[in-house]
Every structure is written in C-alpha cells, then in structure tokens.
Amino acid sequence: MRLHEAMRYSVLNGGKRIRPLLVYATGEALGIAPDVLDTPAAAIELIHVYSLIHDDLPAMDDDVLRRGKPTCHCAFDEATAILAGDALQALAFQLIAQAHESISADQRLRMLQQLSIAAGSRGMVGGQAIDLAAVGKELTELELEQMHIHKTGALIRSSVLLAAYTAPALPEKQLNQLDHYAKCLGLAFQVQDDILDIESDTQTLGKTRGADAAAGKPTYPSIIGMSAAKRKLNELYLEAVAALEGLNAPLLLEIAEFTVKRVR
C-alpha cells in the first residue's frame, strides 16, 4: 500500500534517533531491561516522525529536504504525506497500549497520558502553532523559550518520562531529577539547532540551511546574538549534567554532551 510505503520511507530514512536513545539511556540508569523499553522507544520516534512529515508540508514550513532526502510530500504527494503522519501518530499510541507485559495497566495509562499531552496542544502541536504565528514577528527571549519548551522540548521530556514510568516504584526525587535533565536537554537541543542553521551547511544538516531565517522565524541567534546563544547552550548543558548528580546515568551524560557538540 502506498500509505505504508510513505510511512516506512519517513521512519526508516535515517536521523539521529535521539528520542529513542533517551528512552533506552533512562532505562539503563534505572535498571530497566531493554526489551521493556522497545515499545515506548518506537512510539516516541513515530510521534516525532509524524511531526516532521506535517511540519514539512507546504501549508507549514514548506521544506523539500529532510534527513538528506526529499520530504515525504515531495517523494509521494501531499495527501499521502498527511495520511502517513496521521497513521504514524495512531500507531504510536497503539504501541504504548500493547507495551511489554511487565508494564501494568496503570503504568500504561500514565504513559499514554504523558505522550498525549506532549504531542498535543499543550506540547508539540501547541509549540508548532506558536512557531507559525511568530513568523515575521519579534519575540522576547522568554517567549522564544516557551515556544521551544513546547515544540521541541515536550517530546524530549516525554522520552525520558516514558522510560521512567516503566519503573515499578521510582522515588519522586529521582523522577524530578530526570525531568529537570530532560527540560534542560530539550531547550539545549533547540539552541544548538538554531546555531547550526547558521553555521553548518545543507549537506551536513540533511535539511535546508538557513530555512528559519529565510522564513522570518525568530531564533536564539537572531534574538540574543550568536555569542549569547552559545553561552546559553553551555549553561543548559551544565544544568542538565548537574541534574543527574547521584544517579548512575553515563548514557544520559553522553547524550547531553552529544547534544551540544553535534554538527547536524
């Protein structure tokens, strides 16, 4: 079926897989078996890919390149791309509902609630709506931060929390530590994205360089300057690392370092 071809094309087309990596890294820190984490890891990536398909559409960001290849609506057509995104979102929630047998019904319900909030109007979709409304406008740094906490940060935070919710009895202190780490990481990820959109190139990025500036979108470098954006990136990295104090979380530390040093 052409719809399934479009779904596979978008999901299997490369990418950093940072969100599923966060699921497994959080699980490792909490002693959760990897097979228990397979469904939440897949689910969060499917939500992310669905968002990319829809973000790239002509009615939104109108991008033609994603992960170094034609975007879904260019490789197929606009209608198929919309349906592929819709189907991937539905499949993500199906996977959570069918999670590993060791995850209780109450845990699954909590995971479904977290993912639905992160993906909806109070999370990623709400952030995208703010992003579209902000084109050609001047935002304050605080307004920009709020936009990215929703648009980018919500799914990154959800990646960590979904893994944490698979733990049978996680102390509140550890949950709060992981949550704070994820919030800092999500914002750092976006700051680095804004920096790379200026300093990198299209071939390395796998998407059109300078697209945000060309579209008149506010970014950290455009609002606070490149030097201040890089300082903010480092501050967020240090805060994310500090949040993990007392936890045995080497992979989460590696992901934080990767986030601020990545080139695409």
Which phi and psi (to 5°) does residue 229 adopt?
-65, -40
pLDDT tens track of the chain, all 264 residues?
A: 999 999 999 999 988 999 999 999 999 999 999 999 999 999 999 999 999 999 999 999 999 999 889 999 999 999 999 999 999 999 999 999 999 999 999 999 999 999 999 999 999 999 999 999 999 898 999 999 999 999 999 999 999 999 999 998 899 999 999 999 999 999 999 999 999 999 878 877 777 787 877 788 899 999 999 999 999 999 999 999 999 999 999 999 999 999 999 887
Query: Is the pTM above the cut of 0.85?
Result: yes
* Domains and their CATH numbers in the chain: 2-261 (1.10.600.10)
Q: How many CB atoms lie within 10 A of CB 213?
A: 15
Comparing C-alpha atoms, which of 11, 26, 28 is closest to residue 159?
26
Separation in Å, CA 248 to CA 23, 147, 156, 241: 15, 31, 20, 12
Collect all residues with Cβ–Cβ distance below 8 Å to 60 and sequence separation of at least 6.
54, 128, 132
